[in-house]
C-alpha cells in the first residue's frame, strides 16, 4: 500500500481540469523525481484524455453522486478495482484527483478513507472567488443542456442555502452547497482526517500558471513545477461560454426540451454548435457575470466562508482576500445586446447548416430541357396563365395526373 494518498477534491470551476491536464503531462517526472504517482485511469482506454479519477470513484461511491445511476456505477466498478491495485503497488505517495469528491457526505468520506488502509491521507482543496465560480458553473450547466436563466439559477441557490448547514450535510440533492460552501467542505473533511492534513489552494485567476505553482507546492512537488512546458502551463482547458452565447443556448435547450429531442440528439447538436460555431469565433463577447441583484448576497456568502476558513486551522496556500468578490465596472455587468446574441445565433446556424445541400442548381442548356424538367407533360406549354382568383385556379385539371 502507498505510504501516503493525497486526494485533490475540487471544487468545481476552480481550475481542476487545468491541473489534471498538467499532471497528466508530467506524470513520469512526478513519479521519478518526487516519488508521487499520478496513476492512469481513463487514459487506459482513452490515451489523449485529460486524466482524472472521478469515473473510478463512481465504482465505489455510486449513488452518492446524484447524477450517477446504479447501472452506471456498476459499470465503473472495474475502474476502481484497477485504480486501487495501482495504489497498493506503489510504495510512495499517490495523488488522486476527482472534483466530484467535494459533494460526498460524511459517511461516504469515511467509506472512501477506509479503502486506503493504514496510508496517511491528505486532502487538497482548490477554490476560487464565488462571483467567478458560481456564474461559471451556471454556464456549464447550460452547456450541458439545462435551460434555467441565471436569475432562476441564483434563486435556487438562495433557497438551498437557506435550508441550513444540517440539511446541506444530510440531503443528497443539496450537493452543490456541499461543494461550494467552503467552510462546510473544510469542516467535513477535517473531521475525518484532521485539519493538519488539509491544504486549501486559492486560484487567483491570473497569471495562468500561478495556480499550478501553488498546487505543486501543496502536494510536495515544488521542484517539479517547471517540468510542464510553457504551452501546457498557460493554456486554458475549458472554453467557457460568453454571456450572449449562454443566452442563446438557454433558449435552444428549452426548445429542444419542448420538442422532445432525445438526450443523445440534444447533446450531439449542442456539441456541433459549440465546437464548430461558438467557441471558434474571434469576437465572442463578454464573460458570464454575476447579476447585480445578488452581488451583496454573494459577498456575504464569501465572508462567511472566509471566517470559517480562519477558524478551521487548515493551511491556506495563497492570500485569503483573493476569495473576496471584487467590484466590477458597470459596463462589465451590462447584459448581452440583441446584436451580440444575433451574431452568436448566426454562428450556431452556420455550424449545423448542410452547406452542400444549398449549392447552385445546374443551369439547363436549352428551354426544352427546362420544360422537360419543370413542367408536367400534360400541361399546355406555353399557354395563358389563369388568374389566381379565377374559379378552379390551383385545382388539378380532369386530365392532369394526381
Q: What is the pLDDT of residues 194-238, one digit of tens each?
A: 999 999 999 998 887 999 999 999 999 999 988 888 888 877 656
pLDDT in tens, 89-115: 999 999 999 999 999 999 999 999 999
CA distance 179 to 135: 15
pLDDT in tens, 7-20: 999 999 999 999 99
Q: Where are the beta strands (DSSP E) in 23-130?
A: 36-37, 93-97, 120-127
- What's the mean pLDDT in 36-55? 92
**Which residue ranges make up each domain of the chain?**
4-130+176-238+294-323
Short-list 169, 173, 175, 183, CA closest to 127: 183
Write down the pTM of the prediction.
Answer: 0.85
Give me the mean pLDDT over the 365-387 stretch: 55
> For the residues of 247-263, what is the DSSP string, one character each?
HHHHHHHHHHHHTT--H
pLDDT band at 246 (very low <50, low <70, confident <90, very high): very high
Which of the four pLDDT bands, split at 50, 70 and 90, describes residue 378?
A: low
The fold of 4-130+176-238+294-323 is: Rossmann fold (3.40.50)
Q: Of 73, 39, 37, give the one whose Cα is nearest residue 55.
A: 73
Q: What's the confidence (pLDDT) of residue 377?
A: 56
Pairing type for strands 120-127 and 315-317 reads unpaired
Distances in Å between the Cα of 131 and the Cα atoms of 40, 301, 391 are 34, 10, 69
Bridge-based pairing of strands 315-317 and 93-97 is unpaired
Amino acid at each position: 500500500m502507498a505510504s501516503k494518498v493525497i486526494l485533490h477534491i475540487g471544487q468545481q470551476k476552480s481550475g481542476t481540469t487545468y491541473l489534471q491536464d498538467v499532471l497528466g503531462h508530467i506524470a513520469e517526472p512526478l513519479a521519478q523525481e518526487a516519488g508521487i504517482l499520478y496513476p492512469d485511469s481513463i487514459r487506459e482506454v482513452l490515451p489523449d484524455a485529460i486524466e482524472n479519477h472521478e469515473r473510478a470513484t463512481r465504482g465505489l461511491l455510486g449513488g452518492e453522486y446524484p447524477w450517477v445511476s446504479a447501472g452506471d456505477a456498476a459499470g465503473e466498478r472495474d475502474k476502481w478495482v484497477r485504480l486501487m491495485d495501482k495504489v497498493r503497488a506503489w510504495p510512495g505517495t499517490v495523488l488522486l484527483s476527482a472534483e466530484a469528491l467535494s459533494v460526498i457526505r460524511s459517511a461516504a468520506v469515511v467509506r472512501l478513507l477506509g479503502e486506503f488502509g493504514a496510508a496517511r491521507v491528505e486532502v487538497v482543496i482548490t477554490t476560487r472567488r464565488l462571483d467567478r465560480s458560481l456564474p461559471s458553473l451556471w454556464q456549464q450547466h447550460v452547456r450541458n443542456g439545462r435551460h434555467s436563466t441565471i436569475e432562476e439559477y441564483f434563486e435556487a441557490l438562495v433557497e438551498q442555502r437557506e435550508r441550513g448547514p444540517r440539511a446541506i450535510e444530510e440531503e443528497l440533492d443539496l450537493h452543490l452547497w456541499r461543494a461550494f460552501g467552503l467552510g462546510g467542505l473544510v469542516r467535513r473533511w477535517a473531521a475525518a482526517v484532521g485539519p493538519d492534513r488539509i491544504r486549501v489552494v486559492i486560484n487567483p485567476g491570473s497569471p495562468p500558471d500561478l495556480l499550478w505553482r501553488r498546487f505543486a507546492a501543496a502536494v510536495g512537488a515544488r521542484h517539479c513545477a517547471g517540468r510542464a512546458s510553457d504551452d501546457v502551463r498557460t493554456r486554458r482547458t475549458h472554453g467557457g461560454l460568453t454571456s450572449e452565447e449562454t443566452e442563446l443556448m438557454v433558449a435552444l435547450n428549452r426548445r429542444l426540451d419542448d420538442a422532445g429531442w432525445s438526450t443523445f440528439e440534444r447533446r450531439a447538436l449542442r456539441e456541433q454548435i459549440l465546437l464548430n460555431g461558438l467557441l471558434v469565433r474571434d469576437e465572442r463577447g463578454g464573460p458570464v457575470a454575476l447579476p447585480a441583484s445578488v452581488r451583496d448576497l454573494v459577498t456575504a456568502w464569501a465572508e462567511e466562508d472566509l471566517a470559517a476558513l480562519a477558524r478551521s486551522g487548515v493551511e491556506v496556500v495563497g492570500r485569503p482576500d483573493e476569495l473576496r468578490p471584487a467590484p466590477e465596472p458597470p459596463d462589465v455587468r451590462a447584459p448581452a445586446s440583441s446584436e451580440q446574441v444575433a451574431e452568436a445565433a448566426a454562428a450556431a446556424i452556420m455550424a449545423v447548416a448542410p452547406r452542400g445541400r444549398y449549392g447552385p442548381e445546374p443551369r439547363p442548356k436549352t428551354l426544352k430541357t427546362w420544360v422537360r424538367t419543370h413542367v408536367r407533360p400534360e400541361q399546355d406549354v406555353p399557354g395563358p396563365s389563369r388568374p389566381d382568383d379565377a374559379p378552379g385556379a390551383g385545382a388539378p385539371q380532369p386530365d392532369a395526373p394526381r
